[in-house]
């Protein structure tokens, strides 16, 4: 068997294309939902931390450190296989969504926080001196600037977490790697795995191009 028939067998492609395309769609919307949840949650956690209240800041720091330290796969396995023993059974999709959103939130919180602390005190003071309450200062002055500073790192994290949806294959989420993996074992051909790789390129290359646009769009002279 030649290289072509192993990795690019046209019959296998034709047979599994619909399944892979379906799985690609699952990966796309999972990535979008996880990215949205993670970024919003990360921003909210960073906002809590700006209050300077220890009771709020410490749990945030603990959460961020823990979730960044643990491999996502461990958390996925614990939630999926461990929780049912406590009488709580979550669908595989929900487990993947929760774990990856929390992991992204942990990184996003740190990125937002770094941006917030990098801003001069005068930005807070200018807002306060013009009668703006803390939430308004945060929403209109501090956060937009922290977001702009964090965009390259946030985009990077969002792309990484999108690829991490492949871990769903371990608990049977029908995303690209899972579907391609079973196609590979039934067909005995590596072609579905090639298709999986191409599927990721189809998703991530446009995402990378879009992210460059976003980075350029929000670059400004400080």
Residues in contact with another protein by the rule CB under 8 A:
120, 122-123, 125-134, 136, 140-141, 144-145, 148, 220-222
Q: Which is nearer to another protein, 188 or 222 (CB)?
A: 222
- Helix H, strand E, coil C: the string for 4-71 is HHHHCCHHHHHHHHHHHHHHHHHHHHHHHHHHHHHHHHHHHHHHHHHCCCHHHHHHHHHHHHHHHHCC
What is the Cα–Cα distance from 157 to 101, expressed in whole angstroms?
Answer: 11
Q: Which is nearer to another protein, 11 or 125 (CB)?
A: 125
Q: Which is nearer to another protein, 100 or 141 (CB)?
A: 141
Q: Which is nearer to another protein, 28 or 142 (CB)?
A: 142
The least distance separating another protein from the CB of residue 201, rounded to whole angstroms, comes to 34
Q: Which helix (H) or strand (E) holds 78?
A: none
The least distance separating another protein from the CB of residue 174, rounded to whole angstroms, comes to 42
The least distance separating another protein from the CB of residue 2, rounded to whole angstroms, comes to 57
Number of H helices and E strands in the chain, helices first, is 10, 0
The least distance separating another protein from the CB of residue 121, rounded to whole angstroms, comes to 9
What is the Cα–Cα distance from 20 to 18, expressed in whole angstroms?
Answer: 6
């Amino acid at each position: 068997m030649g290289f072509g028939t192993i990795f690019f067998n046209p019959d296998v492609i034709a047979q599994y294309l619909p399944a892979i395309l379906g799985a690609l769609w699952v990966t796309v919307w999972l990535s979008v939902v996880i990215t949205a949840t993670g970024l919003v949650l990360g921003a909210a956690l960073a906002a809590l931390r700006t209050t300077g209240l220890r009771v709020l800041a410490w749990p945030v720091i603990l959460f961020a450190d823990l979730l960044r330290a643990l491999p996502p796969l461990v958390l996925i396995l614990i939630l999926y296989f461990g929780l049912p023993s406590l009488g709580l059974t979550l669908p595989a999709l929900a487990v993947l969504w929760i774990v990856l959103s929390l992991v992204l939130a942990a990184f996003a919180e740190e990125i937002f926080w770094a941006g917030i602390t990098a801003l001069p005190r005068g930005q807070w003071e200018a807002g306060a001196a013009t009668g703006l309450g803390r939430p308004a200062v945060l929403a209109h002055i501090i956060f937009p600037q922290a977001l702009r500073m964090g965009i390259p790192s946030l985009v990077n994290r969002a792309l990484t977490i999108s690829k991490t949806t492949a871990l769903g294959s371990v608990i049977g989420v029908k995303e690209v790697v899972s579907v391609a993996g079973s196609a590979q074992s039934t067909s005995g051909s590596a072609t579905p795995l090639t298709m999986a790789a191409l599927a990721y390129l189809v998703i991530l290359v446009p995402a990378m191009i879009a992210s460059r646009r976003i980075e350029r769009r929000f670059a400004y002279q400080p």
